Amino acid sequence: MKPNVYITRKIPEPALARLREACDISMWEEEDIPVPREILEREITKADGLFCLLTETIDEALLEKAEKLRVISQMAVGYNNIDVHAASRRGIVVTHTPGVLTETTADLTFALLLATARRLVEAEHFLRRGEWKTWSPMLLTGRDVFGATLGIIGLGRIGEAVARRAKGFDMKVLYYNRNRKPEAEKSLGVIYTDLDSLLQESDFVCVLTPYTPQTRDLIGERELALMKDTAVLINTARGGIVNEAALYSALKNGRIWAAGLDVFEQEPVSPDHPLLSLPNVVALPHIGSASVQTRIKMAMMAANHLLQALRGQVPDYVVHPDAIKK
């Protein structure tokens, strides 16, 4: 008998075809609506494998209903929506999709930095509203990127990719990371520093660290107060790393100049969120990896991980290796 697999969202056809060859598939067909919890609770009781996204909460209460689940394959790099320890206790393998989205997310991060620095969204709306009446010396003036200082918090794969892009703009690149990275310092010319110094010296600060209990509210009122009043904060990592109430206050009161955000603590973010009322915020709907090529690659990787685990193999990217029975 083929193993049963539940897919929580409609995925690209190449990945779906690969899973259909080896598994009996059930899938939530709505592209823009997350699978309702009651349906997920019902489907998890039958599933040998679960293919999921960040939009699903895979907690202990759900896993208690999983009678034969062997693998949770997440189509994302992050996995803070999954109770990994609860899965591990049950011998359930949890996988994710790092690496494949590095360059695409770095592209988006730098695009968001440029858009925020040069007020592109604000300027586009200004034009479409018919408010452009004449050229004016200081109309919609932004911040120079070329030659500025960039601070990267979290020099992982994406952080290094952003640093490579920054070099094309002749930026001085500082970084703060849990571990110092001498090879990156040598190859990219990045400079290691402590967090406070990075915040004080940088014209642009990019948050690219993983979300963990240790990084929750890593950037709060104290940290924002250290930044230049001309500085720009970019977050394409995870919501919750930047304290949103503190960020709103800093932007509203001019303690920092602007922010570009692709992630929020609660997603989808409410249109009434205070940050969205500010003209110096560029906000995106978590599209860091949203290119056609990358999303297909992510889906294929997640499908391969799921099949590897169901065949008794060790998947390529396991979040919690202790879950694998020797």
Q: Which are the catalytic amino acids?
A: 238, 267, 286
Distance CA 43, CA 66 (A): 9
Residue appearing with tokens 């056809």: 13
Helix (H, G, I), strand (E, B) or coil at 108: helix
Helix (H, G, I), strand (E, B) or coil at 26: strand
1 Cβ neighbours under 8 A, 6+ residues apart: none
Going by their DSSP bridges, the two strands 204-207 and 232-235 should be labelled as parallel
User: Of 179, 186, 226, nearest to 202 (Cα)?
Assistant: 226
Distance CA 158, CA 237 (A): 10
Burial environment of residue 1 by CB neighbours within 10 A (0 to 12, 13 to 18, 19 or more): exposed
300 Cβ neighbours under 8 A, 6+ residues apart: 12, 14, 15, 18
